[in-house]
Amino acid sequence: MAQKGFTLWFTGLSGSGKTALAEMVYDELKQKRGLKVEKLDGDVVRTNLSKGLGFSREDRDINIRRIGFVCNLLTRNDVIAIASAISPYRSVRDENRALIGSDKFVEVYCEVPIEVAVERDVKGLYKKALSGEIKNFTGISDPYEAPLNPEVHINSGSEAIEESFAKIITYLEERGLIKPLGESGYSEEEEEAISAHLEALGYL
């Protein structure tokens, strides 16, 4: 079975675990399963593709549309695209879903209680947002519109990260977007390569 392209779209407040989970899924699909995967993280995109954009609604929408545009190019060429940006507005997330196709778009809502995100304050930004040093901060002084029907719903305040990761992988396998690993723990391709090798050595 050839690899199918799809977009895995993480959305959620800052500190909800988008990047942490995106990295884990990326490593699993690329390293362990040998799939073609690309990631587009909000922080990285804002230093190149969207450099110069700010945090007004208009700029946020442009940023998310750009990420969606690239995800679509990758997806239609059967690469798995993993996007991890706050993407606070439902309408532009849905625009990307329509562009890419609902059958190839998997929205992962990383939900976290705002108190937990503030407590984590991974980047020290909540402190600045609460003191007013940073304006238009999602969840504090800017809106976040939660998905109404996400394909995967993570509760990063109460789940262990391994549990959240497993939810995503299981969903992708059950939906037929990636192949489950065989009982050996090797992918089909790896099993074939091992068999060919053993055969060449005269063991099979």
Ligand X SMILES: Nc1ncnc2c1ncn2[C@@H]1O[C@H](COP(=O)(O)OP(=O)(O)OP(=O)(O)O)[C@@H](O)[C@H]1O
Distance in Å, CB of 126 to ligand X, minimum:
9
**Catalytic, out of 87, 156, 164, 187:** 87
Count CB atoms within 10 A of the CB of residue 1.
6
- Residue 181 CB, nearest approach to Mg ion (Å): 27
Residue 19 makes contact with Mg ion by CB under 5 A: yes
Residue 152 pairs with which residues in a beta bridge?
A: 108
Q: Per CB under 6 A, does 146 bind ligand X?
A: no
| Least distance CB 100 / ligand X (angstroms) | 21
Question: Judged by CB under 6 A, how many residues of this single chain contact ligand X?
Answer: 23
Tell whether residue 187 is a contact of Mg ion (CB under 5 A).
Answer: no
Exactly one of 5, 7, 11, 15 binds ligand X (CB under 6 A); which one?
A: 15
Q: What is the CB-side half-sphere exposure of residue 113 using CA atoms within 13 A?
A: 6
Which pair of structure tokens corresponds to residue 145?
């519109």
- Report the chain's terminal Cα–Cα distance, integer Å: 24
DSSP-assigned letter for residue 138 = B
CB atoms within 10 A of CB 37: 20
Cα(174)–Cα(38) distance, rounded to whole angstroms?
22
CB of 64 closer than 8 Å to CB of 91:
no
* Binding mask of the shown chain, residues 28 to 57, with x at each position contacting ligand X by CB under 6 A: --------------xx--------------
Q: Of 19-27, 44-52, 99-107, 168-176, which part binds ligand X (CB under 6 A)?
A: 19-27
87 is catalytic: yes
* Residues with catalytic roles: 87
